[in-house]
A and B are shown apart, each in its own frame.
Chain A
Amino acid sequence: MNFDRLFKEAKARGIEDIQIYLANDNEFEIEVLKGELEKYTIASTQKLSVKGIYDSKMGNVETEIINDDMIDFIVDSIIASAKTVDSEDEVFIYKGDKEYKEVEGLFNPELDEVDAKIKIDNMLDLEKRVMGKDKRIRMVQAFYGDGSVNVLIQNSKGLKLEKLVNNGMMGVYVIASDGKDQRTAFEYTQSNNYSDFDLESIATKGAEKAVALLGAEPCDSGEYEILLSNEASASLLAPYLSMFSAEMVQRNLSLLKGKVGEVVGDSKITIVDDPFMKKSTRSGAFDDEGVATSYKELIKDGVLTGYLHNLKTAKKDNTKSTGNGFLRGIRPTNFYIKPGDLNYDEAVKVMEKGLIITDLAGTHAGANPISGDFSLQASGFLVEDGKIVRPVALITVAGNYLTMLQNVSGVCDDLKFNFRYIGSPALKIKSLVVSGK
């Protein structure tokens, strides 16, 4: 599509300013099951999102058909949509920042050069390795996927930004069975450097995780000291990201409203949004509005320092956008709880009676981002006198996220990110309510 023509046409029809966001995606995905290639997907797609200011309101449109014949449709849709909006918030098309940081390690051309045949052979090998780890392993699905995204942002104020990112993910889904009980586990690694994928390490961890939970049963109901594993803590943080969005604060839907400068967590808690992390698809020098991104500690030593902003919320609060304006609203980039210095094994050793929670399920339903309350299905291990006694499953742990942050008694050193780039180390928590037997 000729964007200059689109911009000209838009101007002629009364659209004051206009911006396009064009994403070209390439994807490759394979899955191996029972010694055979089970799934093989290749794709190349593109999507154009356009926004424009008409009569001081923002109009939006998206299309996957991208050619000059669509120009009229795009202009019509923007005008119709802008005419309907009655929000009085001031809207912006950004002229750009003076400087954008050079972010390294976002694209690694070598990833695409690794032959598909090698990737498939590696997955066949990975499945075999997991199966060989323990005779109780019943089924293994080995998966690998990679892709690249090329983003172009261009607007009528002369801004033009481009970024190219790629990434791969390799992992296993494991089912273990001892004849009576059946348990599952996921284990994966993400990187854009193929040599970072360590088959043996993925196989060992995946197999260990699945087998360790065999025979798990509910523990007694009651209040327990909790060691929340890095993975469980990251999955619990995910539904609460919206608390940090200035949009949610301004709409009176965030528990963090009015708390900047106040203590909201234990002094051991620091929460970071880092757009400059290497090998992450969430990283970049600019957000989807074209604003330069920045490293921020939103909670520093337990004290709330600020919120995530886009251009609109920043204007309302008379501050600067933090570079978190994305197509679907305000989002973090790479968001994590900063690791501490507690060793995980040590944390178990000093536990008198408590629970290690390694997995939380149903966070999309059982964790309420507005009230902060959660009650979630959990599994893990019962600990007595510093030793793991037995695996535990089909229990619920319940609490309130902000109360929990204040009750953190230890932060481990084992930061791990999930596939949405939300990360956490394991956290020791004074107490949560557990429902079991």
Chain B
Amino acid sequence: MLDKKLIKKVLDAALTTNADFAEVFIEDKFATGASMLSSKIEKVANTKEFGIGIRIARGYHTVYGYTNSPKEDELVKLATDLAQSFSGESRNIEFELEEMKVGNIHNIKILPSEVSIDEKVDLLKRADKAAREYDKEISQVAVRYQDYVQKIWVANSEGTYVHDMRVRTRLGISAVGANEETKQTGFNGPGGLYGFEFYSEIINVEDEARESARVAITMLHAEECPSGKMPVVIDNGFGGVIFHEACGHSLEATSVAKDASVFSGKKGEMIASKLVTAIDDGTIPNAWGSAAYDDEGNLQKRRILIKDGVLNSYMIDKLNAKRMNDECTNSGRRESYRYAPTSRMTNTYIDNGESTFEEIIAATKYGLYAKKMGGGSVNPPTGDFNFSVSEGYMIRDGKIAEPVRGATLVGTGSEALLKVDMVANNLLTAQGMCGSSSGSIPTDVGQPTIRVSEITVGGRKGSN
């Protein structure tokens, strides 16, 4: 990769004006993708990405530039051009780059490069077959396979010099159920910070495929969801997207530091029901959102965001730490060298409570049971969120009743968190892609089954 001497030269060029911080991020990524549709392999492609991002800061004012060129003269020129944004004399910052090495807790057994493309494609065929055989009403199945090895190097004017290798893989299965009346879909996308062993040791491809088919068929025979305010039981696993959207984004320094979050300045305050303890943990071995280091070269860590309802910590990157006069929580992440890093989530979940799933359902006279969630979004300054329910059921008299489709939940993060009145003990995580100002990155969401005492449910059927 880039020679240490060259990196040092680029950093020095970046500090020829009045800046107080310079960073070089180098990325070398090799990805393989394959897709299957109508039981045929449609496309297989290798992608080689390589680029360098240079960031220079004074205080928390930053400039960023990136290029694919590893040539010394071009990199020094980019650094020099960027440095021109800061006037004044150089601070003559002296530093040496010393490589930090830690034992990697994310053990990878089979590198994707050691596996033939035929073996990868075979997963698609197995998933397609299992989903189709689930039910004769499955009319279409789309399967995508993805793996990549992302090697990164981060060096900065504080002497940080680290290397990290992230090996990730994911299988996404979309099933479509169709009858004369409608078409409905189900999706399941397991993934992790794993090599190819993920498919033999961690998941069963056929089970995962049948799960997407099951949702499609269930929704095919569901009624339209009623609308109005009601109690909502949100199941474990991808249900954690409620916390991710309704609260997680508003706890990122990206919005908190600008005083643009509903949770700005609320550390130590009760922002959620006392049943809620929420954690963002980038150190979970082999989890989808984990890594050894963040993308600013700091060791990943575990952050207790909310403890028994009280706001304990934000997620903060290096530069926002200065702006907020708070500690950096090593939360700087980015999609690629094309983005300057900012504070982002890793694996974020609500921790286990004491109820059981059965108790929660039994305690609910009337409401919605959101077994599977789709995606959603939030507006951090208002806290207004929305997310779609991809598999839902009505709850009547403490029992799960008929399936319903087309539900969307809307609310305000701060209110919804205070209205969590039951938390089960069945924590489960699921994989997602999270988009924000530093690009699209892998994150885990998660929670045990929870109940929110009242939430606005929007469906196509009018109110009951």
Contact = CB atoms under 8 A, between A and B. Distances in A.
A175 B48 contact: no
Interface string B234-253: 00000000000000000000
A249 interface: no
Contact of A42 (B38, B81, B258, B262): B81
B322 interface: no
Contacts of B405: 373
B298 interface: no
A80 B382 CA distance: 50
Contacts of A396: 227, 386, 408, 410, 456-459
Interface in B97-134: 117-118, 121
B140 A252 contact: yes
Given A221-B463, A370-B176, A398-B459, A361 B229 contact: no
A346 B262 CA distance: 37
B43 to A, nearest CB: 6
Contact of B47 (A61, A184, A394): A61
Contacts of A436: 456
Given A60-B43, A221-B463, A42 B374 contact: no
Contacts of A368: 185
A73 B32 CA distance: 13
A46 B133 CA distance: 44
B40 A86 contact: yes
Contact of B374 (A80, A366, A399): A366
Interface stretch (A33-41, A155-163, A164-172, A262-270): A33-41
Interface string B371-391: 000111101011011111000
A400 B405 CA distance: 13
B387 A362 contact: yes
Given A84-B34, A362-B386, A373 B406 contact: yes
A394 B411 contact: yes
Nearest to A141: B258
B46 interface: yes
A428 B75 CA distance: 54
B453 interface: no
- A33, A42, A80: residue with the most chain B Cβ atoms closer than 10 Å: A42
A259 to B, nearest CB: 14
Given A45-B68, A175-B260, A399-B460, A73 B379 contact: no
B338 interface: yes
A415 B16 CA distance: 49
Interface in A20-60: 33, 36-46, 58-60
Given A61-B46, A252-B139, A394 B412 contact: yes
A255 B181 CA distance: 12
Nearest 3 Cβ contacts at the A-B interface = A396-B458, A435-B227, A377-B386
Contacts of B356: none
- B46, B67, B182: residue with the most chain A Cβ atoms closer than 10 Å: B46
B67 A45 contact: yes
A10 B384 CA distance: 54
Nearest to B379: A184
Interface stretch (A62-70, A196-204, A417-425): A62-70
A65 B382 contact: no
A322 B140 CA distance: 26
Nearest to B184: A371
Contacts of A393: 382, 384
Contact of B388 (A253, A255, A366, A397): A366
B408 A43 contact: no
B259 A139 contact: yes
A62 B44 CA distance: 11
B406 A64 contact: no
B117 A362 contact: no
A313 to B, nearest CB: 12
Contact of A437 (B38, B62, B229, B408): B229
B64 A41 contact: yes
Interface of B: 34, 37-38, 40-51, 61-68, 78, 81-82, 85, 117-118, 121, 139-140, 176, 178, 182-185, 225, 227-229, 258-260, 262, 338, 340, 374-377, 379, 381-382, 384-388, 405-408, 410-412, 456-463
Contacts of A70: 48
A221 B227 contact: yes
A222 B117 contact: no
A200 B238 CA distance: 45
B382 A139 contact: no
Given A60-B43, A221-B463, 17 more contacts: A61-B45, A81-B45, A84-B41, A84-B117, A84-B118, A85-B42, A86-B41, A87-B42, A222-B462, A223-B462, A252-B140, A365-B374, A376-B408, A394-B411, A394-B412, A433-B460, A435-B228
A395 interface: yes
Contact of A398 (B38, B118, B227): B227
Contacts of A252: 139-140, 178
A65 B48 contact: yes
B175 to A, nearest CB: 11
Given A41-B64, A43-B66, A398-B408, A253 B460 contact: no
A44 B51 CA distance: 10
A371 B185 contact: yes
7 contacts: A38-B61, A58-B43, A80-B44, A366-B387, A375-B225, A396-B457, A435-B463
A84 B121 contact: yes
A193 interface: no
A194 to B, nearest CB: 20
Given A37-B61, A139-B260, A376-B408, A64 B42 contact: no
Contact of A361 (B65, B82, B85, B386): B386
A370 B183 contact: yes
Contacts of B43: 58, 60, 81, 85
A81 B117 contact: yes
A115 to B, nearest CB: 13
B141 to A, nearest CB: 10
Given A62-B45, A377-B384, A45 B338 contact: yes
Given A41-B65, A362-B408, A62 B46 contact: yes
Nearest to A43: B66
A373 B384 CA distance: 22
Contact of A64 (B49, B227, B340, B376): B49
A65 B50 contact: yes
Contacts of A41: 63-66, 340
A251 interface: yes
A13 interface: no
Nearest to B46: A77
Nearest to A397: B458
Interface string A85-122: 11110000000000000000000000000000000000
Nearest to A221: B463
A5 interface: no
B82 A362 contact: no
Contact of A251 (B140, B225, B227): B140
B46 A81 contact: yes
A375 B140 contact: no
Nearest to B66: A43
A63 B259 contact: no
B62 A39 contact: yes
A320 interface: no
A376 B63 CA distance: 37
Contacts of B65: 41-43
Contacts of A255: 183
A212 to B, nearest CB: 14
A253 B227 contact: no
B48 A62 contact: yes
B408 A85 contact: no
